[in-house]
Chain A
Amino acid sequence: MSNKLINLSGINKSFDGTMVLDDLNLYIRENEFLTLLGPSGCGKTTTLRIIGGFETPDSGQVFFNGEDITNVPPNKRQLNTVFQKYALFTHMNIAENIAFGLKIKNKSKSYIDDKIKYALKLVNLDGYEKRMPHQLSGGQQQRIAIARAIVNEPKVLLLDEPLGALDLKLRQDMQYELIRLKNELGITFIYVTHDQEEALTMSDTIVVMNQGYIQQIGTPEMIYNEPENAFVADFIGESNIIDATMIKDELVSFLGCKWACVDKGFGNNKPVDVVIRPEDIVLKESGQGTLDGEVTHVIFKGVHYEMEVMAGGYEWLVHSTSMFPVGTKVSISVDPFNIQIMNKPESEDEEATRIEE
């Protein structure tokens, strides 16, 4: 896992004067499932297209296995792409689609036939050789697009929102398929999506992007539990983000109360943001927690109740399996390790991300 297979160094890209990527630096390790996650227009697809060779950066370099491939055309790169809308060749049948890359490389017929069989088995579509793309459902077409890419044995598979056009159930099935494929093939996946749940489910590493900047890189757990700034906290999952002051190490003050936390090193009396996940809030009887308030809304969500609690002048979002009716006086309590402290945006980069919200 430690070998840096792809390295993006100082990538800048703008379209018609609009900056899309600003000094992007990123490396991708071998056999990693790395997801570029962010809202539309954050530069994630452009990053993928630069890796695939479909866009050239204005400045900066792309390294593959230590070799500069910035100006190498897509057909000379050891990676393959699965496009958002499948991009199957509609005038060829499924077998011809899958064989396309192999025929270009002048592989023998028996080799190609074996590969087609193998790839169709891998994506659970044995026997579909003679069908035409338009006879297949969206999910099947997407699996063919994956099969067409992987028969070329790429070192890296690039996937551009491949599940975006599928319905929820199919999308969930395909997520498991992709994880299985990745484990069976042992190749590196670079995956682009705006769906945070998809990213959390499948990735080894998530790169959260916004406005052409990388906001945070980390494992799904790190991104979810320890977001580095308000954008990441807000984009990944639901959260309560509150203005706060760091009084000293392990003590933070917000909404007129002092709260014990576990974070250190932010300095004394420094303004910070605090993020608390809705499921980490414990509702107690009035007077027994840190901050008293009143339940204003309750919605049943299946697994849990979603409640809004007005306390300390802030509307708290709370997820809990036990229900408190509207109007109940409650008290909010949060375990110290569930209070996540984040620096206020200071640099210009981070500022830009806040303005957009």
Chain B
Amino acid sequence: MKNKRNLLAGPYLVWSVAFIIIPLIMVFYYGFIDRDGAFTLENIMAIASPEHSKALWISIRLSLISTVICFLLAYPLAMILANMSVNQNQFIVLVFILPMWMNFLLRTLAWQTLLEKNGVINSVLKFLSLPTINIINTEAAIILGMVYNFLPFMVLPIYNSLARMDHDVINAARDLGANNVQTFLRIIFPLSIPGVVSGVTMVFVPALTTFVISAILGGSKILLIGNVIEQEFTQASNWNLGSGLSIVLMIFIIISMVISSILDKDGEGNML
């Protein structure tokens, strides 16, 4: 019986071997050889070159800023949603999820159209004789794109952890003399940390690896590590260097995963 049920996992197993395991092995294979097929660490060490380490540093910095902004926007919203009844908050959740039904690329292209020098926003501002904004092809535009695209991934896990909190625990804190601020700092926030950690991971990791947002909203003027890797594969056709840099990026992702799994001991936040 048990074996039969295991067979049901077969299609997925085939899938994951073909499209996850084998590509991963290939990335590692290419990452550790040079163009002639000899073993080398050069592709890995290439991260130390000024242009690569700069791209990695910008990626980390922009992802961190985006993650912090997402957190600051998401936490109050999640609290408001959690304090509403399910009937009340359904509409707001819907409004929130609605853009997610649209293709990621389309959403980002829409922002490009909005932000362009002669784009929608500036046309309106000009029409109203207001000063125009000029943030397309800057770091600010990339951060905006990251925040816009990844915000729901921060809201939902935090909302989950807040909504599942036993209301009597909060009442107990009030009952024991804590005012609203003390209750939040000592009880509500610490109990929501699994959700926060999960949200941070789900924003930080895709933001760190994105190349689409920076390509569209950064106008290929600002290179993130994702763009560098993409160019090595598609333009320079240097699969070895692209693989080597990918491995380095994977190490950073694994580090952030380890940190989050330490903070989220119960795995509570991963219930999205």
Contact = CB atoms under 8 A, between A and B. Distances in A.
Contacts of B179: 75
A73 interface: yes
Interface string B159-203: 000000010110111111111001000110011000000000000
Contacts of A53: 174-175
Nearest to A79: B175
B178 A87 contact: no
Contact of B176 (A54, A85, A91, A104): A104
Given A84-B168, A87-B169, A104 B175 contact: no
A81 B171 CA distance: 9
B175 A80 contact: yes
A40 to B, nearest CB: 17
Contact of A75 (B166, B169, B175, B186): B175
Interface string A64-94: 0000000001110000110111011111000
Contacts of B169: 87-90
B177 A87 contact: no
A101 interface: yes
Contacts of A104: 176-178, 182
Contacts of A148: 172, 176
Given A85-B166, A85-B168, A90 B191 contact: yes
A152 B168 contact: no
Nearest to B186: A100
A301 interface: no
A244 B172 CA distance: 50
A204 to B, nearest CB: 24
A6 to B, nearest CB: 16
B174 A101 contact: no
A52 B171 CA distance: 10
Contacts of B187: 89
A152 B166 contact: no
A48 B140 CA distance: 54
Contacts of B177: 75, 101, 104-105, 152
Contact of B178 (A75, A85, A90): A75
A141 to B, nearest CB: 12
B172 A83 contact: yes
Nearest to A96: B186
A73 B177 CA distance: 9
A142 to B, nearest CB: 13
Contacts of A88: 169, 172
Contacts of B174: 53-54, 73-75
Contacts of B178: 75, 100, 104
B191 A87 contact: no
A87 B172 contact: yes
Contacts of B176: 75, 80, 100-101, 104, 148-149, 152
A105 B179 CA distance: 11
Contacts of B190: 91
B219 to A, nearest CB: 46
B168 A87 contact: yes
Given A73-B174, A84-B168, 6 more contacts: A52-B175, A75-B176, A89-B173, A90-B169, A149-B175, A152-B177
18 contacts: A54-B175, A73-B174, A74-B171, A75-B174, A81-B172, A83-B168, A87-B166, A89-B169, A89-B173, A89-B187, A90-B191, A100-B176, A100-B178, A104-B176, A104-B178, A105-B177, A148-B172, A152-B177
Please provide the 8 A-B residue pairs with the shortest distance between their CB atoms, ordered closest to farther.
A101-B176, A87-B168, A87-B172, A74-B174, A83-B168, A104-B177, A81-B175, A87-B169
